């Protein structure tokens, strides 16, 4: 069974630009969550989507947004990039109705803002 | 908000030695999770704990859910080179009601010397 797939794996953007990251969950999983990982702040929850609806949102500014499609694939977007947005962005998928132990992470998308 | 204090921040041990790391919180957690992250990859779930006092093993790994629900520890016995990586504790954010909104500890970087 294929794991969580994230694209692109690496990208470099300039301050002020916007970026879109993509996540394909494990087949059959309908919940997708996004996390930001930085050396200073560690792993922080961004948001969770289920059945194309945002269920929870972490403490991030409105520049961070996401969406989920009918096939459960998800994208997250960061607008007006700042240097501090440089991070590893991790997507995680879970089957419907799962508890915390069945969260599967992808390898992440490394974003560098210059 | 919820915070997890994980210690130690880093460890250097000889191959074959046992390792212990722990997490504490000022808030009660109903689930404790332990993840390992290898360089360039996403976190992988090692052990999940659901009841206070629970002691669970996964091969050479053993983890316990503290009686107060505010702490957990992870032990690795007879360490080997492939144990190298960053170990994170995590738990579902209580107020969100979602098992996918995890709060993570700051991580323990483990180095195993031959």
Flag whether pLDDT at B97 surpasses 80. Answer: no
Q: Write out the two tokens for A104.
A: 């599967």
pLDDT at position A78 is: 98
pLDDT at position A70 is: 95
Interval A27-74: pLDDT, tens: 999 999 999 999 988 999 999 999 999 988 999 999 999 999 999 999
| Contact across the interface for B101 and A101, Cβ inside 8 Å | no
Interval B19-76: pLDDT, tens: 999 999 988 888 899 999 998 899 999 999 999 999 999 999 999 999 999 999 999 9
| Closest to B87 measured CA to CA, from B27, B47, B30, B31 | B47
pLDDT at position B98 is: 65
Q: pLDDT-derived band of residue A94, with 50, 70 and 90 as boundaries? A: confident
The CA–CA distances, whole Å, from A54 to A44, A90, B40, B72 equal 17, 17, 28, 31
Which one of A6, A34, A48, A100 makes the best mutation probe of the B interface by having the most chain B beta carbons within 10 Å?
A: A100
Q: Are B65 and B50 in contact (CB under 8 A)?
A: yes
From chain B, pick out residues whose CB is under 8 angstroms from the CB of A97: none
Q: Are B29 and B23 in contact (CB under 8 A)?
A: no
């Amino acid at each position: 069974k294929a794991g969580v797939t994230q694209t692109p794996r690496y990208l470099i953007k300039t301050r002020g630009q916007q970026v879109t990251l993509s996540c394909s969950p494990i087949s059959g999983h309908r919940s997708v969550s996004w996390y930001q990982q930085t050396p200073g702040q560690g792993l922080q929850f961004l948001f969770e989507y289920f059945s194309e609806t945002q269920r929870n949102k972490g403490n991030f500014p409105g520049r961070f947004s996401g969406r989920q499609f009918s096939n459960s694939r998800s994208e997250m977007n960061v607008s007006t990039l700042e240097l501090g947005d440089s991070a590893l962005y991790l997507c995680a998928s879970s089957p419907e109705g799962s508890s915390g132990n069945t969260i599967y992470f992808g390898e992440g998308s490394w974003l560098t803002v210059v | 908000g919820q915070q997890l204090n994980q210690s130690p921040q880093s460890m250097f041990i000889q191959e074959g030695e046992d390792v212990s790391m722990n997490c504490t919180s000022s808030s009660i957690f109903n689930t404790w999770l332990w993840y390992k992250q290898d360089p360039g990859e996403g976190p992988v779930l090692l052990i999940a704990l659901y009841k206070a006092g629970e002691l669970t093993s996964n091969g050479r790994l053993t983890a316990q859910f503290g009686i107060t629900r505010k702490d957990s520890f992870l032990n690795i016995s007879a360490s080997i080179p492939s144990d190298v990586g960053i170990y994170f504790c995590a738990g579902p954010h209580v107020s969100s009601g979602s098992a996918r909104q995890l709060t993570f500890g700051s991580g323990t970087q483990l180095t195993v010397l031959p």
